[in-house]
Each structure stands twice: as structure tokens, then as C-alpha cells.
Amino acid sequence: MGKNTDMLIESVKDIWDGYDRHPFVMGIADGTLDKEKFKYYMIQDYLYLIDYARVFALGVAKASDKETMRHFAGYVDQILDGEMDIHRGYMKRLGISLEEAEHTPLALDNLSYTSYMLRMAYEGGAAEVIVAILSCAVSYEVIAKHIVANNPAAADHEFYGEWIRGYVSDEYAKANKVLIDLTEKLTADLNDAQLEHLKQIFINCSRYEGSFWDMAWEMRG
């Protein structure tokens, strides 16, 4: 991936390994996940993505050059009109209206996670923005690819296959490659102390990702 991205991902190897063993993820992989749990997750993840897009928007404001601004702005569009399409499709199948979803309160784990990302983005610069975003973006690709590697038929499941295909797609991987390249660019000239600060943000966001799966599995508010 890149020197600093590799360093960040290596720092959370144990946390990310735990995602594959999480009962929620395993339920998607083998098609046994209770649809009520998935419905709860879809609504909370939809709400999460709204704040996730706001973090990218802050990246536009924090960027020091127009190319970086364009990258961050492009991701805002990709999330609002791309990744959210997966959620809208599922919400239609599950009988969830956009009005219902958008008026559902954020679960405490969700609120804590998005508040942390937004705080890091407000207080930091473009590097803090990109690292706060990176764990969610890349870990979903890794999870989906692990599912398909272990069970190729999972991508064709009548219900959960769409979710898996969305995150294992070439388009999603291409978007993540741009994100990784931008991470390398924004962290290239940082000193050890600055990199350590970014690593802690990445670790915290990865822990929040784990809590998000717990939240979805337990359907806790």
C-alpha cells in the first residue's frame, strides 16, 4: 500500500482480525444474520455515513492545495451518491423510508465514533482528516475480500450478496487506492511524533469500528 499506510494497518492487525470473527460479520458471510439486526445496522450505518461525509468536507477546508481539495470533495459525492446507494437499496427492501432513517436517533456508540472523527478533523489538519477516515474505508474492503476468499458463494447470496459485492468491487478498491495514495502524500513529511499521533487516531477509529459491530449485533441504543 505505502510506507505509512502499512504502518497504520500493522498497528491494528489484532483489532482488524477480530472483525472477521465477529458474529455479525460471520452472519453476513454465511447468510444467517437475523435481518432485524441488519436492518438496525443499515439505519445506523446510513446515519454514520452522513457524518462521515462531513469529515471529508472538512478535508476540503483543511487541504493546502486544489488537488487535495478535489480528492476530498470527490469522496463527499461518492458517499452521498455512491456508497449510500447500497443502503438505500437495502432500506427499500427492508421497508425503511428515508424519513424514518433520518429521524432515527444515533446510537451512543455511533455518536461517540462520529463525534471523535469530527473532533479530530476540526482540531487537526488534512492528515488527521484522512487518517480518521481510513480505518472504515479500508477495513470494509478487507472484510468483504476475506468473506469471498473463505466462501466465494457468499457474494451471490440472495440478500447479503449485494452488501458483499459492493465492498469487494473494483470500483470500491479503486476509490480506496486513491485514499491510500492521498494518505501517503499527506503524511510524507511528518516527523515521528506526528506519525505517532496519527497512529493513535487510527487505532482509536479501528476500536470504534469494533464497537460499531458490537452495537449492531446487540442492537443497542
HSE-up of residue 84 (Cα within 13 Å, Cβ side) = 20
Handedness of CA 210, 212, 215, 220 (dihedral sign): positive
Q: Give pLDDT, residue 7.
A: 97
Q: Give pLDDT, residue 55.
A: 96
Phi and psi based region of residue 95 (left: phi greater than 0; alpha: psi -120 to 50; beta: remaining): left
Range of weakest confidence among 6-15, 80-89, 198-207: 80-89
Q: Give pLDDT, residue 84.
A: 67
Angle, in degrees to the nearest 10, between helices 161-168 and 170-187: 40
Domain containing residue 58: CATH number: 1.20.910.10
Q: Give pLDDT, residue 151.
A: 95
Residues classed as catalytic: 136, 209
Cell of 112: 461517540
176-221 pLDDT tens trace: 999 999 999 999 999 999 999 999 999 999 999 999 999 999 999 8
Range of weakest confidence among 34-43, 65-74, 84-93, 164-173: 84-93
Q: Give pLDDT, residue 17.
A: 97
Average pLDDT over residues 39-58: 94
Domain limits for position 127: 3-218
Q: How far apart are CA 72 and CA 66, in angstroms?
A: 10
DSSP E strands: which ranges in 81-201?
A: none
Share of the chain above pLDDT 90, in %: 83
Q: How many domains does the chain have?
A: 1
| Average pLDDT of every residue of the chain | 94
More confident residue, 171 or 77: 171
